[in-house]
C-alpha cells in the first residue's frame, strides 16, 4: 500500500516537473556551466520543493536528484541549499528540512553548521520546539560539533518545553564545546528559573552570571520585570523595570510594560493600570483610558497620589490592545472589546493572531461563537474548513478580515477548542481536532489540558479518565494537566468525606434522622509524599488504577526539574484544610509558599477560609478575608455563607449575603444556592423555596411554571444556570433591587419563626 502511494506521488511529481519544462530523468538536460540563471534557478528551487513535499520516501527523492545533473548541482550548491532548507522548514511539513540534510549527506555533500542554524532559526520562529531540539541533536550527531547560536536555540527550546534540568546544564555544554556563554544565554537560563518559580535558583544564577563577566544590567531588570507576572505583583521588581525604561530598546520596553500592565489588569488594580498607561503614546492609548474610566468595575480613582513621570514614551503594539480585549471580555462587555479593536486600527496598529484569539474569546463569552468561527474560517483554506458541530458563522460580521494573517496557528485552534467545548461540547471538540490535522497542526499539551479541564468541570469525569485523556494528547506533560487531575481527585475525595447534596447536612439538624457514619479506606485518599516538588507534596491515591496511570506524568515533571507553582500549592492547602481538616499543616504550606517568594492569590486565601469555615471557626475565616490585599469576591462570601448554613444559622447566612451585595458584588448561582440551603438545613423548606425564587431573577428569568415545580427540581434546574464568567460588580439599580428583596426575605423569615415556635425553641436551646 505504501509503495503504491509512493509511486503515485512520484508520478504526480514528474507531471509537475513537465509543467515547468524539466525532465528530471533525462540525461539530455544540459549541465549548467556557471550555474543556472535566475529564472532557471527558481524553477530548480520550486522543483526540489515539490519533490520533498509530495514524494513521501527519501530513496525516491534521492533517485530523482541523482538522475538529474541540473538538480544535483543545484542541490549541492552551498548557498542554494540554505534557501531550500529555509523554505522547507517554513512549509506545512517542516520535518522535510532535516530529510533534505540527510539526503545531502547521502549524495556525499556534508553541510556545515550554517544549515542547521537556518533550520533552527525558522523552527524557532514557528515555535516548533520539539522538532527544533531534534534538529540540533541531529546536527551534533552528524557533525560532532555545534555553535553558540545552536546552543542558544537549544536553551530556548528547553525553556519552552519546560525541560529545566537540561536547561540549567547549558553552561556545561558551552564549556565542553570550547565556547563561552553570552549574556543572552544567561538570560535564557534566568528565565527558566523564574518561570519555574525557583527564586532561590534565580538569585544563584545572577551570581554565576556576574562571575562569568555578565553582571545584571538594565536589560536583566527588564527581563525579570517581564517574567515576574508568574510570581506576583512585586513593587521592587516593578520599580527596577521602570528605571530601565530609558536604557532598553523600544520593543523591549513595550514588551515589559505590557507584562506589568497585564498583571494589574488580572487583579483589577486599575489605579496602577491608569498609571502604567500614562507611559504610552497618549494619541494611541487615550481611548483605552476613556473606555476603562467608563467601566463600572473600578471604584474611585486615587487622583491625589503623586507618581513620577516616565522617562520615555512607550509605543503600544497589538498585544497592548489585546490585553484590554481580554479584560473587557472577562466582564462580558463585547461592545467595549469591539471598541478596542476599532481604536487599535485607527491608531495604525495592525491586528495580529494574538488579537484574533482575544477577540475569539470575547465572542464566545458573549454567546456569539459563530463570529469566532468566522474569524478562524478566514485563516484556513476553504477546502480544509468544516462547520460541522460548530456555531454557524453565517450572518456574522467581524471587524476585520483574517485571510492576510493565515495560516492559523496551534494557539488559534486551542482558543477555538476552548470556546467550542463551552457551546457545542465534545462533538464540537472532535471537529476542531480534525481541523487541526487538516491544517497540518498537531494537538499539544495545552490541547489535552483544555479537553481534560472541560471534562472535569462540566462532565465531572473520573480522575483516571482525565489521566488517559492527558496521556493521549500530550507529547510532554505539564503542571497544568497535573492540576486538572489533582483537582478532580480532590473533588471526589471531598464527596467521600462530606457526602453529596443538602440532605447529608440536613440530617445533622433533624430530630428523626441519624447522620450516617463514613468509613473511607486510606488507600482511596490522596497522600503526602516526602518531596514537596513538583506537586506540593500531593500524591494520588494508592489504588493501582490511579497511581499506575499517574506515575508517568509525575515522573516526567520530576525528571524535567519542574517545581511546584502557586496553583499546586493552592491544591495542597485545600487538601490539608478542607479534606484532612489539618489547619496547622495548611498554614505551614502557605508559609512555605511565602518563603519561596511566591505571592498568594485569592485561591490560597479561599482554601484557608474554607478550612476554617468547615471546622466551625468562622471568625478566623472572616479575619483571613479581611486581611487580604484583595477585594473579597463572591467565592469568599459563598464560603462564609456555607459555613453559617452548616451551623444552622440562616439569619447569619442572609446577613452575610446582604453584606456582599452592599459591597457591590454580583451574586452567582452557587452563593444563592448556599443561602437557600441554610433554610433547608433547619427544616424551613417553604422559606428555602421562597429564598430561591426571590433571588433567582438576579441570575436569569424565573420559569413561568416555577410554582408548580418541586423544591428539588427547582434547585437542580437553577444549578444548571451556573456560568463561571460573571460581572464582579453590579449596577446601582441592581444593587437597590436586590437589597429590597433581601429586606423582604428577612421580614418573611422573622414571620416564619413566629409561626414555627418549635423551631425557635430548638434554636434557643442550641444557643
Task: Encode pLDDT of 205-260 as tens digits.
Answer: 999 999 999 999 999 999 999 998 878 888 899 999 999 999 999 999 999 999 99
Q: Which grid coordinates are listed for 192?
A: 527558566
Dihedral-angle region of residue 166 (phi above 0 means left; psi in -120 to 50 means alpha; beta otherwise): alpha
Distance CA 68, CA 26 (A): 7
Distance linking the first and last C-alpha atoms of the chain: 82
The dihedrals phi and psi of 65, each to the nearest 5 degrees, come to -70, -40
Q: Between residues 422 and 27, which one has the greater pLDDT?
A: 422
Q: CA angle at residue 718 from 716 to 722, to 5 degrees?
A: 110
Distance CA 625, CA 234 (A): 21
Burial class (CB in 10 A: 0-12, 13-18, 19+), 237: buried
Tell me: the pLDDT tens digits for 380-426?
988 889 899 999 999 899 999 999 998 999 999 999 999 999 999 99
Distance CA 681, CA 762 (A): 13
pLDDT band at 168 (very low <50, low <70, confident <90, very high): very high
H-assigned helices in 144-281: 148-160, 164-167, 170-176, 183-195, 199-211, 218-227, 235-243, 250-266, 270-277
Percent of the chain residues topping a pLDDT of 70: 89
Q: Which of 1-15, 106-120, 142-156, 362-376 has the lowest mean pLDDT?
A: 1-15
pLDDT band at 763 (very low <50, low <70, confident <90, very high): low
Q: Which grid coordinates are listed for 721?
A: 444556570
Greatest pairwise CA separation for the chain in angstroms: 110
Which pLDDT score is estimated for 114?
Answer: 92
- Asked if 622 and 640 count as a contact pair (C-beta separation under 8 A), the reply is yes
Tell me: the pLDDT tens digits for 340-355?
999 999 999 999 999 9
Distance CA 718, CA 603 (A): 25
Which pLDDT score is estimated for 566?
Answer: 95
If one counts every other C-beta atom within 10 angstroms of the C-beta of residue 623, the result is: 12
Q: Is 171 helix (H, G, I), strand (E, B) or coil?
A: helix
Q: Which grid coordinates are listed for 130?
A: 520539539
Distance CA 379, CA 374 (A): 9
Q: What are the start-end ranges of the E strands in 427-561?
A: 527-528, 538-539
Q: Which of 216-225, 384-393, 535-544, 749-758 has the lowest mean pLDDT?
A: 749-758
Give 729's strand partners: 665
- Overall average pLDDT of the 445-469 stretch: 90
List Cβ neighbours of 739 (8 Å cut-off, separation of 6 or more). 658, 661, 662
Give, for 617, the enclosing helix (H) or strand (E): none
Q: Is 729 helix (H, G, I), strand (E, B) or coil?
A: strand
Distance CA 173, CA 179 (A): 8
How far is CA 382 from its chain centroid?
29
- Asked if 325 and 359 count as a contact pair (C-beta separation under 8 A), the reply is yes
Q: Which of 99-108, 185-194, 397-406 has the lowest mean pLDDT?
A: 99-108
Going by C-alpha positions, the residue among 334, 379, 327 that lies closest to residue 356 is 379
Chain mean pLDDT for the chain:
87
Say if residue 300's pLDDT is above 70. no
Calculate Rg over the CA atoms of the chain. 31
Going by C-alpha positions, the residue among 476, 470, 475 that lies closest to residue 540 is 470
Residue with cell 540540533: 136
Q: Which grid coordinates are listed for 650?
A: 440562616
Say if residue 204's pLDDT is above 80. yes
Which pLDDT score is estimated for 354?
Answer: 97
Amino acid at each position: 500500500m505504501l509503495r503504491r502511494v509512493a509511486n503515485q506521488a512520484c508520478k504526480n511529481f514528474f507531471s509537475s516537473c513537465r509543467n515547468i519544462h524539466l525532465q528530471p530523468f533525462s540525461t539530455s538536460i544540459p549541465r549548467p556551466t556557471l550555474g543556472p540563471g535566475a529564472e532557471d534557478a527558481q524553477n530548480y528551487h520550486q522543483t526540489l520543493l515539490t519533490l520533498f513535499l509530495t514524494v513521501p520516501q527519501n530513496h525516491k527523492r534521492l533517485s530523482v536528484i541523482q538522475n538529474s545533473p541540473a538538480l544535483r548541482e543545484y542541490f549541492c550548491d552551498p548557498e542554494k541549499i540554505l534557501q531550500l532548507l529555509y523554505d522547507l522548514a517554513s512549509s506545512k511539513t517542516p520535518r522535510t528540512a532535516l530529510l533534505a540534510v540527510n539526503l545531502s549527506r547521502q549524495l556525499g555533500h556534508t553541510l556545515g553548521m550554517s544549515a542547521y542554524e537556518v533550520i533552527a532559526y525558522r523552527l524557532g520562529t514557528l515555535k516548533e520546539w520539539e522538532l527544533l531540539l531534534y534538529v540540533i541533536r541531529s546536527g551534533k550527531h552528524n557533525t560532532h560539533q555545534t555553535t553558540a547560536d545552536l546552543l542558544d536555540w537549544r536553551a530556548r527550546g528547553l525553556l519552552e518545553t519546560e525541560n529545566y534540568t537540561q536547561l540549567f546544564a547549558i553552561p556545561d555544554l558551552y564549556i565542553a564545546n570550547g565556547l563561552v556563554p553570552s549574556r543572552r544565554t544567561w538570560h535564557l537560563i534566568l528565565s527558566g528559573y523564574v518561570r519555574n518559580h525557583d527564586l532561590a535558583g534565580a538569585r544563584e544564577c545572577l551570581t554565576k552570571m556576574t562571575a562569568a563577566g555578565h553582571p545584571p544590567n538594565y536589560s536583566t531588570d527588564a527581563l525579570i520585570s517581564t517574567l515576574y507576572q508568574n510570581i506576583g505583583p512585586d513593587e521592587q521588581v516593578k520599580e527596577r523595570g521602570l528605571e530601565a525604561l530609558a536604557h532598553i530598546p523600544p520593543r523591549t520596553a513595550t514588551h515589559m510594560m505590557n507584562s506589568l500592565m497585564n498583571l494589574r489588569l488580572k487583579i483589577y488594580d486599575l489605579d496602577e493600570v491608569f498609571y502604567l498607561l500614562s507611559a504610552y503614546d497618549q494619541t494611541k492609548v487615550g481611548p483605552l483610558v476613556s473606555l476603562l474610566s467608563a467601566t463600572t468595575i473600578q471604584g474611585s480613582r486615587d487622583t491625589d497620589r503623586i507618581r513620577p513621570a516616565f522617562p520615555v514614551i512607550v509605543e503600544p503594539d497589538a498585544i497592548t490592545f489585546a490585553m484590554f480585549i481580554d479584560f473587557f471580555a472577562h466582564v462580558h462587555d463585547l461592545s467595549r472589546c469591539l471598541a478596542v479593536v476599532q481604536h487599535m486600527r485607527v491608531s495604525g496598529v495592525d491586528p495580529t493572531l494574538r488579537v484574533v484569539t482575544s477577540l475569539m474569546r470575547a465572542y464566545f463569552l458573549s454567546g456569539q461563537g459563530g463570529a469566532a468561527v468566522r474569524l478562524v474560517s478566514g485563516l484556513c483554506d476553504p477546502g480544509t474548513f468544516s462547520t460541522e458541530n460548530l456555531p454557524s458563522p453565517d450572518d456574522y460580521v467581524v471587524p476585520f478580515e483574517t485571510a492576510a494573517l493565515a495560516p492559523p496557528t496551534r494557539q488559534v485552534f486551542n482558543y477555538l477548542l476552548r470556546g467550542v467545548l463551552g457551546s457545542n461540547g465534545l462533538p464540537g471538540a472532535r471537529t476542531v481536532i480534525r481541523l487541526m490535522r487538516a491544517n497540518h497542526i498537531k494537538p499539544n499539551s495545552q490541547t489535552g489540558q483544555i479537553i481534560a479541564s472541560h471534562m472535569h468541570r462540566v462532565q465531572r469525569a473520573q480522575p483516571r479518565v482525565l489521566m488517559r485523556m492527558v496521556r493521549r494528547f500530550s507529547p510532554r506533560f505539564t503542571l497544568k494537566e497535573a492540576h486538572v487531575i489533582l483537582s478532580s481527585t480532590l473533588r471526589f475525595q471531598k464527596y467521600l468525606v462530606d457526602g453529596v447534596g443538602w440532605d447529608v447536612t440536613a440530617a445533622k439538624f433533624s430530630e428523626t434522622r441519624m447522620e450516617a457514619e463514613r468509613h473511607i479506606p486510606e488507600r482511596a485518599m490522596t497522600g503526602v509524599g516526602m518531596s514537596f516538588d513538583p506537586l506540593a507534596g500531593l500524591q494520588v491515591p494508592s489504588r493501582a488504577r490511579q497511581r499506575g496511570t499517574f506515575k508517568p506524568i509525575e515522573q516526567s515533571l520530576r525528571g524535567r526539574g519542574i517545581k511546584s507553582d502557586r496553583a499546586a500549592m493552592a491544591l495542597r492547602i485545600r487538601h490539608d484544610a478542607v479534606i484532612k481538616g489539618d489547619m496547622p499543616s495548611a498554614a505551614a504550606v502557605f508559609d512555605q509558599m511565602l518563603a519561596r517568594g511566591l505571592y498568594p492569590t485569592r485561591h490560597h486565601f479561599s482554601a484557608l477560609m474554607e478550612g476554617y469555615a468547615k471546622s466551625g471557626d468562622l471568625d478566623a475565616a472572616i479575619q483571613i478575608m479581611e486581611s487580604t490585599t484583595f477585594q473579597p469576591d463572591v467565592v469568599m462570601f459563598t464560603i462564609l455563607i456555607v459555613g453559617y448554613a452548616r451551623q444552622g444559622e440562616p439569619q447569619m447566612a442572609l446577613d452575610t449575603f446582604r453584606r456582599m451585595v452592599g459591597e457591590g458584588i454580583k451574586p452567582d448561582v452557587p452563593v444563592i444556592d448556599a443561602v437557600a440551603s441554610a433554610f433547608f438545613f433547619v427544616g424551613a423548606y417553604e422559606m428555602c423555596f421562597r429564598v430561591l425564587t426571590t433571588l433567582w431573577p438576579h441570575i436569569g428569568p424565573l420559569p413561568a411554571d416555577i410554582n408548580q415545580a418541586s423544591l428539588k427540581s427547582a434547585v437542580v434546574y437553577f444549578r444548571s444556570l451556573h456560568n463561571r464568567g460573571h460581572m464582579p460588580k453590579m449596577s446601582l439599580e441592581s444593587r437597590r433591587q436586590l437589597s429590597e428583596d433581601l429586606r423582604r426575605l428577612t421580614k418573611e423569615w422573622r414571620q416564619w419563626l413566629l409561626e414555627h415556635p418549635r423551631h425557635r425553641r430548638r434554636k434557643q436551646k442550641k444557643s
